[in-house]
Structures are given as C-alpha cells and as structure tokens.
Structure 1
Amino acid sequence: MRLIKSLFGAALTLAAGMGVAQQAQQTSPALVPAPAATSAAGGAIAAPAIDGRRALTKEDADTWLDGFMPYALARGDIPGAVVVIVKDGQVLTQRGFGFSDVAARKPVDPATTLFRPGSVSKLYTWTAVMQLVEQGKIDLDADVNTYLDFKIPAYQGKPLTMRNIMTHTPGFEEAGRDLIVDKGPVASLEAALKRWTPQRVYAPGSTPAYSNYATALAGYIVQRLSGMPFDDYIERNIFQRLGMTHASFRQPLPANLQPFMAKGYQAASTEPKPYELIAMAPAGSSAISGGDMAKFMIAHLADGGPLLKPETAKLMHSPANDPIPGLDRMMLGFYEQKVNGQSAIAHGGDTKWFHSELILFPQEKVGIYISANSAGKDGAISPIRTAFFRQFADRYFPAKDTAVPKELPTAKEHAAMVAGTYENSRAAVENFGAMLGLLSQLKVTTDKDGKLSVDAFTTLGDAPRKWVEVAPFIWRSVEDGELFGAKVENGKVVRVAYGPIAPIMVFDRAPWHKDTAWLMPLLIASLIVIALTALSWPAGAINRRRYGAALALTGRDLSTYRVVRLFCWLALAVPLGWMFLISVAFEGTTPATGIWLLQILGILVIPGLFGLAVWNAVRAFKARRGWFSKTWSVLLALAAFVLLWVAFVFKLISLGANF
C-alpha cells in the first residue's frame, strides 16, 4: 500500500512541478511534536485564556517555535527553514532555524537569507494583474487574446479570460516539461510560452486544474500591457513600493543577492544542489527573504497597503470559484484554507529543493510564512508544513466546538455512491504525459462497515482517516477536521475533491475505458505473459542445448516463433524506457531525442506485437499443436491486445515531445 501511495504522490509531483503536490499527500514517518508546554529555557509559559485561546504574543510564539521547529527539522533531515509571523501591521516574530549552507555551518538569517518560495511567487504575479485591473488595462472577463500577440484557441467556442486564469480554471492540460532545470540559459518568458500551447481539455471556468502555463501567460500579459519586462515591473511596482531589498525574480540571481541565497538540498545529509531555473518565471522563479515576505503579507492584510486599493484587495481576497460547495473556495490568486471556523487565504509552493507555505488570516490581521531548503527524509516537509499551520491555528484560533460531529443517516448510502476510480483534473490528457494516469488515479472505497475510505489522503501519522458525513456528500475527518466532498449530477457522483486542494484540482470519475481498477490488474497480468514468452526464447535454447533436443518448428512456424519473442522483448523495453525517462524528468531534464525514440518504438512494436500474436495463434491452431501451445498463443494475443489498449488510451502511442 505504501508503494502505491508513493507512486500516486510521485505522479502528482511530476505533474505539479511547483505548487500543491506536497499538500495532496501527507505521508511521512517524520514525527512532529505537540505544542511545547514549557519554554526553551525550561520555564513555564503563560497559561491559556479561559476559552482555550492563547494570546498571540512574540514571547508565546517564540516559545512554541522553539519547541516545534528544531525537532521537526532534525527528525526530517532538513537543513534549514525560515518562519515569519505578522500581526496588526507589524512583524511579530521572524526566526531562522538550521543552516542555509550546511558545509559552511552558515545559519539562516530571517532578515537576509533568501529561499525559493516556488508557487508562492504567483501571488506577486496576481497582485500585478490586479494593479492593471485597477488601472483599467485588464478586464477580468475579456478574451485574453485581446492582450496577446499570439492566439489561445477557444474551447467549444468559449474564450479564455483572466478570471479563468486566476481561479485555475483555464481548461489547459498539464504542461510540465523542463519547468525546473539546473542548467541555463533559461528561455525568455515569450519563448517559453510560444514554444507550445497546452491543449485545452475543459470548458473555461468549469474545472479547477492548476496551471503554471496559465500563470506565466498572466505574467506575459503584465509585461505587454505595462511596456516593461516582467522582472522590472515586479521590482518597480511591488518590491520597491514595499522596501523589499532581498527579493528578486531574476535568473540567474543578481550578483549582489547571491551571497544571501540559501543552498537547496535533497536532505540535510546530502550535497547541495544547483540554483534552480524556472522557464515559466511568473509561476515561481522568485527568491526572497523571510523579512521581505513579511512586508508583502502585511500589505495584503492592510487591505492592499501601498500595492492595491482596498476595494481591489477585497475583490482579490473574496471567493471567485466554488468547485464543490462546502469545501474550500478559490479566490483571485489566493485559495481558501478553512481551519477551526476561520477562513484563511493561502498559497503553497514547491520547487525541487525548496518548500514553502504562506497563510493569511484576514479577520485577525495575522499572517504566517514558512519556507525550508529541503523536502527532507521521505518528504518530511509536507507533514511539517501541515502541522505548522494546524498547530498555529489550534493554539491561537482554536475551534469553538470540538465535539465529534454527528454522522448523517445517509452516510453509508452516499459512501457507496462515491466509491469508484477518479482521474486528477490536473494532468496531461492529449500527450504522452497521460501515462501518469496509470499511477495517479484516485481510489475511493468503503470499509467493512460501509463507511467512506480514501487511502491516498491519510493523517500526519500515515493512518487512514475516519470520515463522518456532516452534510450531504460532505465528509469531515474525525482526526483533524479535513474535508472530502462529492458533486452529484442526475443522481450520480461525477466528481470528488479533498479539502486542502479542492480549489485548484479535483478528481473526475474515470471513464470505463480508462479505469485502472480493472485495467491495472489486466496490464500486470499481460506484462507477465509477455515477459514469460520473451524469457522462453533464451530459456528454451539453454535447455535444448543442455539436453541435446531440437526445436520442433520449421519454416514459417520457426520464423513466427522467433519474431514474436523478439517483439516481446521490444514491447517490454517500451514501458521500461518510459519509466527511465520519467525518472530523468524528475531530475529536471527530459531529452527530446529519448522521447521521440520511445514513441517511434512504441508505434512500431506495440501494434506489431498484437498483429504477430494473433498470427501466431492462427498458426498454432492450424498446425494442430498441443493444448498448452494453443492456450498460450491465445493468452499472448490477449496480453498484446491489453498492452495495445493501454498504450492508446494513455497516449503511449503518440507523436510529439511536448508535455
């Protein structure tokens, strides 16, 4: 089960590039401590208020952080992190933990050490867009082709709008090739966008499907309408306005900021990695200190501060899309994160080596930010981030009602309706990247008591959640209050979503011909049949040589025997080749030559094997061979057909190096 969930997370991560994959899966053996009961020096901390809510003071926050962060980083093998808390227009506390450079033992300085916030960078892009909306240069509901020098095709006659882009409902399939690379030069924003436009596979506004390409498109529109390069615009209209001197979108990082840049690591115990380069820069290329991120949070909590007019900031922070009513909603750029009755707005971000989270509590005028320079052991940063947010909320904004929710009498009936297999909306659909659908489909089942069960989304301790239906087709986790919901149309469940990621990606019920619930067992069995057939060639030759026996086949039968087994070996090479290519893609480089070779091989070999297997079965019956030979020839033909089916459905038989 852990292997399946790891593959599920890997598929999401590859599709994500930057953003929300870490939030989608919270599986790690890393232990996260409960809130400290004493200060770091051993002294007692202030007693909580009568209602269970502690006063959010620097002293109390520092005490909590001293109990939480050092252990969490050490247990997770994470070198360093920065944490910032702002309140009422001021920095309450900003803390550096661990090292920005492990070998040099250089500590993290919260004021000056730069981390890569990944997709949290999008918030600067969205703020820039709203500045132009404010100036009347952008209409949120106009066709974006009005602002571009190339055309985004309409989908079913419907144009793409900036509102679609900012709510992650543009309808694009996932575009992840070379999103993050280790070596330059990086393509210009214009070149990166015009190289390939992902297919639009959903009607605009209909389906949340997080898109780095669409965000970069928004940044390009800012560049065109402002008449200045995107990096210049952000520096002049955001960074300079807020006095942010340790922040940049530029790649490579400007020379004056390079000494402050934290090194990225796979884990604290490994060697540092090169500076990451982001092709779709507006989607996540910034580097910023914790102290400067505080200035940005304070501005948004102050109704836009010097960045936006209050009415513009209010519009940006208000719900703009509600994929499944009852779950978290999408604002314009921010997404909602409900906790303990509070409606926070947030954005997470992940590059390969840096992992961040920014959360604002507008009603409380409070913001928190955490960023680390490694995912750590077994992805430890994911549960750390989740626990950081939840423990902060539980400590300072606790829930008023902590009773276990009462379950609706429809729980079992509705759970049975929801059970099935679902596809992630954020995925490649019309290119070979669709193969990841084999790994990333979501399985929803019922347990022995008929209750809802979703193995992919577990607790911080990697245990199954216990779901209680608290509203029709809305379930709450007994352990931590997270939500899971379903959308019903014409009496059938067509879509489900997990609360923390519901605003930006959902899961639609897989059509029968792509449902891995039946396809995956058949595919595994088929690959076993093909592998045994391939192995029978050398194994048979070895045995015949050993015992001095001869192969009882001649002429066309002998030629068919050999060619079929050759194609079996080649057919096995195709999925193995794709597995290798995917592993290379995780390292940030995807060679186009390798993609083309595998595609050509797949087009020739997989249909070829099916044709040869059918011909082999025909000859086996015509030659009146033994029952085993006939049976095996039929099994091989069926196995070849299943492989061909999967290859067509998941685009392994296709041409094109873009994904």
Structure 2
Amino acid sequence: MNPRTRTRTRARTVVASALLASLALGPLAGAAAAHPVAAAPGALSAGSTPAVDGPDTAALEKALVGIPDGDVSAALVRVGGKGSWTGTAGVRSLRTGAPALENARFRAGSTTKTVTAALVLQLVAEGRVDLDAPVTRYLPGLLPASFTEPPTVRHLLTYTSGLKPGANLGSTTEEMYDNRFRTLTPERVVAAAVAKGPAFTPGERQVYQNIDYTVLGLLIEKVTRDSYEHQADVRIFRPLEMRHTGFPAGPDPRVHGPHHRAYADIGGRTTDVTEWNMSDRWAAGNMISTTADLERFLVAVFEGRVVPRPLLDQMFTVPAIEGATYGMAWQRFVHNGREIWGKTGSRPGYHTVLAATRDLSRTVVYSVNAKSAREDGFPLVARFALPAFDR
C-alpha cells in the first residue's frame, strides 16, 4: 500500500491540454538496468522496420537532429503498427552531456488519466460501478447542497461534470516551482472545488480539467477499499508487465531509476525541475513510466485486453455536445483523413503523447524533455508525433 494512503484515514468523509491542445516513483520492483545509446552526446539513434505505408521515417529522423537544441534536451519516440520505428536523441543531463537513454523513466503527466479511466471501466464491467449513477452514490457527502444535480460517473469520465477547478499550488510554472516540495492532498483539492458550487449543469459542456479525474481516484479507493496506486498496479501494470511504471511514494519528489534531467525557464534561466512533488496531480497526472511500457499499455487498451469491448466502444465515444472532442480520457483527432485517439501529458520539463488509430495500424508514444512542455503543446506534437501518421 502506498505510504501516502497509509497515513490517510480509510474512513473518508469528503467535504470536501488536449491530443493537440487543439490535439498538450518510487522504487519499482524488477527494474532492468539501463543501457546508454551508443552515440555521441546529443546525437541520435534510430531503428526501423520498413513498410510501404509505414511512418514518415525521414521526418521522424529530422525531428531528432540537433537535440539538445535550446528547448528540447532529450527525446524518446516509439512508432508501431504497420512499420515500426524508434528514435532516441539528446542528453541525460545538460551538465554532464551524457547521452540519452532509450529506457529512461519520466513523468507521464495527464496520460495518467487513461489509466484512471480504465480502472473505473473495469469496476463498471464488474458491476461495482454504474456509469450513469450520481457520483454521490459512491462518495456520499462529496457535494454540498448547491449541487442540485450531481454529476454522474460518466460525466466525470468525459469531462462534462460541471465541477470547478480544485486547489492548486500555482497557475504558472514559476509559482508552482516555488511550491514544488509542498503536498496538496486529493481531499483538499476536491474540497476546494466543490465548495465553489457548480460551474454548469452536468452534461451541458465539455471542459478538460484535472478535478474530474481526482474525484474518480477517490471513487476507485472508496469502491475497492484499497489505494488508487495499488489498484493501478494489480489491475494494469502487473498484468501487462509494465515493470517500470508506477507512482511516487507519497510526496517523494524524485524519479527513481534511469531517467533524464528535466528543465524549464524559471525567471528567464534554464532551471533543473526534475525533483518535484507532483502528489497534487495524483490520479490525474502523477504517473511515472517509460515509452516501452506506455506502448504496451496503449496496444492492450486498443485490443480490448484492459477494458471489455462493449465498454471500450463507450470509452471512444465523444458526447454529443458542441465542441466536444474527448471520449473517456482519450481525445479524438483527424489527421490526413485518419481518425486518431490520443492523450497528451505535460508537466514542467516533460511532454508525453500516446496516440493510435483504433485498428492499431499506427501507434506512437513519445517522451520529450522540453522547456516548452507546459506551453502550447502543438509544436512538439507536430514535430515528434504527427509524422507517424503522415503516410
């Protein structure tokens, strides 16, 4: 059980951007040793299995040239489906110049939400959760009287709950950096959100935000009488042999095992932001993983091995709301006539993408260490992900 969970009372009373932004650990058992890329610092290493209708490998290789480049210090890209390609470029550390590691662990940001959605849908498949039941059935006392129409589990999964944002440790990278070693519990985050009352009637609009998935994390714990982290481990990470994926031990600010240093602009200076307590993001964005593990997860989800197929179709259904682009965690996007489903994750210094066509004819997973990671994510997506879908 996660230390953070052990310190919390089990009897809880809770009174408590997008695939394109138009698409933005504790020690892990069984971790394999890292092997550096056999290239000079800053150089790239790439490999591929050719396919006639495969990815645009020339564009992918070009994307890695020149790293580190003032913004991106390291990039790890994995492309699968009809034709595979992997590329690694950059350095582990700007200070040492040691070459990037293909198996480096990283903060996966909001791609965590895809795991949270899968956990909830597994509970639905088991008959323990009803998608269209009000969340208060599972978390009594969650909402004050101002919520005359409580959101359902489905509303939370599709970002249509009407909840307002919760407590945070800053709205800018600079503000968050000053608070990077503080702890903000999920209960405090949610309490601050619901105290503001509803933003709109549930189902009326789709607004991408973390609060919905923080509440879903609490729901998972309440229904299973177990920690969110342990449920993710026993239901998803272990069965899929995602040996290098997990969550920090409570407020632990470190990334354990092989990893790259992360950087952001703080006060106009390039600042190392690797050590950071991300516990306030929890079930919405606190996962640590590798590109190989996330590719394994992506394929298993799309093949129906994580969420049963009838529910998988619901996961990939966008609500009939004007402007909506998200199903349950995943976002729908069309590029070159192809329907793509994906999820981005961004934390200071880290940008992550999971994306695939429903038939898995093309998949892409990347982790990029970039100072621009929390800005408009489209340039990074266009550079490192879209070439996988260009042919």
Structure 1 and Structure 2 fold alike (TM over 0.5): yes
Cα deviations by residue, 1:462-506 (Å, 9 ceiling, x for unpaired): xxxxxxxxxxxxxxxxxxxxxxxxxxxxxxxxxxxxxxxxxxxxx
Paired residue secondary structure (1:133) = helix
User: In the alignment, does 2:61 pair up with 1:70?
Assistant: no
Cα deviations by residue, 1:367-387 (Å, 9 ceiling, x for unpaired): 112221223499586413124
Alignment counterpart, residue 74 of structure 2, candidates 80, 84, 87: 80
Measured after TM superposition, the shift of residue 76 of structure 1 is: 5.0
Q: Separation in 2 of the partners of 1:354 and 1:75?
A: 15
1:335 corresponds in structure 2 to 331
Residue 377 and residue 264 in structure 1: after superposition, are their counterparts in 2 closer, same or farther (change >3 A)?
A: closer
Measured after TM superposition, the shift of residue 196 of structure 1 is: 4.7
2:354 corresponds in structure 1 to 358
User: In the alignment, does 2:282 pair up with 1:281?
Assistant: yes
Paired residue secondary structure (1:323) = coil
2:94 corresponds in structure 1 to 102
The answer to which structure has the higher helix fraction is 1
CA contact (8 A) 1:100 1:373 kept: no
User: In the alignment, does 2:190 pair up with 1:190?
Assistant: no
CA contact (8 A) 1:266 1:376 kept: yes
Q: Separation in 2 of the partners of 1:65 and 1:104?
A: 26
Residue 267 and residue 109 in structure 1: after superposition, are their counterparts in 2 closer, same or farther (change >3 A)?
A: farther
**Which amino acid is the alignment partner of residue 367 of structure 1?**
T
User: In the alignment, does 2:144 pair up with 1:146?
Assistant: no
Measured after TM superposition, the shift of residue 75 of structure 1 is: 4.3
CA contact (8 A) 2:351 2:373 kept: no
Q: Separation in 1 of the partners of 2:138 and 2:118?
A: 18
CA contact (8 A) 1:94 1:291 kept: no
Q: Whose radius of gyration is greater, 1 or 2?
A: 1
CA contact (8 A) 1:192 1:280 kept: no
Paired residue secondary structure (1:346) = strand
**Which amino acid is the alignment partner of residue 23 of structure 1?**
A
CA contact (8 A) 2:159 2:207 kept: yes
Q: Separation in 2 of the partners of 1:155 and 1:190?
A: 19
Tell me the number of residue pairs that the alignment of Structure 1 and Structure 2 aligns.
Answer: 343
2:272 corresponds in structure 1 to 272
Measured after TM superposition, the shift of residue 131 of structure 1 is: 0.7
- 1:106-125 → structure 2 map (5 Å cutoff): 106-111=98-103, 113-125=104-116
Residue 316 and residue 25 in structure 1: after superposition, are their counterparts in 2 closer, same or farther (change >3 A)?
A: closer
Q: Separation in 2 of the partners of 1:21 and 1:310?
A: 23
1:241 corresponds in structure 2 to 239
Residue 21 and residue 291 in structure 1: after superposition, are their counterparts in 2 closer, same or farther (change >3 A)?
A: closer
Alignment counterpart, residue 197 of structure 2, candidates 196, 199, 207: 199
Paired residue secondary structure (2:332) = strand
- 1:516-531 → structure 2 map (5 Å cutoff): none
CA contact (8 A) 1:79 1:267 kept: no
**Which amino acid is the alignment partner of residue 159 of structure 2?**
H
Q: Separation in 2 of the partners of 1:150 and 1:104?
A: 52
User: In the alignment, does 2:177 pair up with 1:177?
Assistant: no
CA contact (8 A) 1:231 1:250 kept: no
Say which structure, 1 or 2, has more relative contact order (CA 8 Å, 6+ apart): 2
Measured after TM superposition, the shift of residue 56 of structure 1 is: 1.4
Give ranges in structure 2 of 5+ residues lacking alignment: 1-16, 25-43, 171-175
Q: Separation in 1 of the partners of 2:147 and 2:331?
A: 27
CA contact (8 A) 1:79 1:99 kept: yes
Residue 291 and residue 149 in structure 1: after superposition, are their counterparts in 2 closer, same or farther (change >3 A)?
A: same
Measured after TM superposition, the shift of residue 155 of structure 1 is: 6.3
CA contact (8 A) 1:147 1:221 kept: yes
Q: Separation in 2 of the partners of 1:256 and 1:116?
A: 10
Residue 176 and residue 348 in structure 1: after superposition, are their counterparts in 2 closer, same or farther (change >3 A)?
A: farther
Q: Separation in 2 of the partners of 1:156 and 1:190?
A: 18
Q: Separation in 2 of the partners of 1:193 and 1:379?
A: 25
Cα deviations by residue, 1:6-42 (Å, 9 ceiling, x for unpaired): xxxxxxxxxxxxx34982599xxxxxxxxxxxxx99x
Aligned-residue CA RMSD in angstroms? 3.3
**Which amino acid is the alignment partner of residue 232 of structure 1?**
H
Paired residue secondary structure (2:164) = coil
Q: Separation in 1 of the partners of 2:244 and 2:336?
A: 34
Give ranges in structure 1 of 5+ residues lacking alignment: 1-18, 27-39, 49-53, 397-659
TM-score when normalising by structure 1:
0.47
Q: Separation in 1 of the partners of 2:377 and 2:191?
A: 35
Q: Separation in 2 of the partners of 1:387 and 1:347?
A: 16
Residue 379 and residue 185 in structure 1: after superposition, are their counterparts in 2 closer, same or farther (change >3 A)?
A: closer
**Which amino acid is the alignment partner of residue 124 of structure 2?**
V
Q: Separation in 2 of the partners of 1:173 and 1:328?
A: 18
Paired residue secondary structure (1:65) = helix
Residue 108 and residue 262 in structure 1: after superposition, are their counterparts in 2 closer, same or farther (change >3 A)?
A: same
CA contact (8 A) 1:370 1:385 kept: no
**Which amino acid is the alignment partner of residue 316 of structure 1?**
M
CA contact (8 A) 1:267 1:377 kept: no
Measured after TM superposition, the shift of residue 311 of structure 1 is: 2.3
Paired residue secondary structure (1:383) = helix
- 1:607-646 → structure 2 map (5 Å cutoff): none
- 1:200-599 → structure 2 map (5 Å cutoff): 200-251=198-249, 258-266=256-264, 270-278=270-278, 279-302=280-303, 304-305=304-305, 307-317=306-316, 319-324=317-322, 329-376=325-372, 382-394=378-390, 396=391
CA contact (8 A) 2:19 2:344 kept: no
Give the share of equivalent positions with the same residue, in percent.
19
Measured after TM superposition, the shift of residue 115 of structure 1 is: 1.5
CA contact (8 A) 1:216 1:280 kept: yes
Paired residue secondary structure (2:230) = helix
Q: Separation in 1 of the partners of 2:231 and 2:291?
A: 21
Measured after TM superposition, the shift of residue 164 of structure 1 is: 0.7
Measured after TM superposition, the shift of residue 178 of structure 1 is: 1.2
Paired residue secondary structure (2:204) = coil
Cα deviations by residue, 1:288-343 (Å, 9 ceiling, x for unpaired): 111111111110221x22x22222222212x241332xx66321221111112221
Q: Separation in 2 of the partners of 1:263 and 1:382?
A: 22
Q: Separation in 2 of the partners of 1:335 and 1:21?
A: 6
